[in-house]
Amino acid sequence: MTTTQSFFTRKIHGRVPQSKHHTITYRSFKDFDETSFLNDLTSVPWNIVRLFEEPNDMVDTWSTLFLDVVNKQVPLKQHRVKRENQPQWLTPEIIDAIKSRDTFNRSVMMLSIGFGETK
């Protein structure tokens, strides 16, 4: 009588779940025009706020009127990011340096491809 041994193996997936992307909301001041903003603020009928007797109603009305102008002049935008909070060491100066490096690397790569070189 012969004995046979069977070996069973099981693969365990030790994957770390990938982080989900987050969406941040911010105001874009790219096309902000201060004079247009001030003109819109002066054209708002602020006297409507005085029609209310309750302070909470007054604040709500004022807030609505103000935010209507702000949303028109400085719109909310959404951007998809990997992390909601960036590390503290990642300053705007470092981000600008990274962008400059990447731009330089792209231009060098385009020049080398133009001369018939490959990676």
**Dihedral sign computed on CA atoms, order 70, 72, 73, 76:** positive
Tell me, yes or no, whether 40 and 80 share the same domain.
yes
The CA-CA-CA angle for residues 91, 95, 96, to 5°, reads: 115
Tell me, yes or no, whether 31 and 71 share the same domain.
yes
Tell me, yes or no, whether 33 and 78 share the same domain.
yes
Tell me, yes or no, whether 100 and 57 share the same domain.
no
The total domain count for the chain is 2
One digit per residue, the tens of pLDDT, for the chain of length 119 reads 555 666 666 666 666 566 678 888 889 888 889 999 999 999 999 999 999 999 999 999 999 999 999 999 999 999 888 777 778 888 889 989 999 999 999 888 888 777 665 55
Tell me, yes or no, whether 30 and 80 share the same domain.
yes
Residue 42: inside a domain = yes
Tell me, yes or no, whether 32 and 42 share the same domain.
yes
Residue 31: inside a domain = yes
How far, in Å, are 30, 31, 54, 78 from residue 72 at the CA level? Answer: 13, 11, 28, 16
Tell me, yes or no, whether 29 and 57 share the same domain.
yes
Tell me, yes or no, whether 71 and 34 share the same domain.
yes
Residue 15: inside a domain = no
Domain limits for position 90: 86-119
pTM here is 0.55
Tell me, yes or no, whether 119 and 79 share the same domain.
no
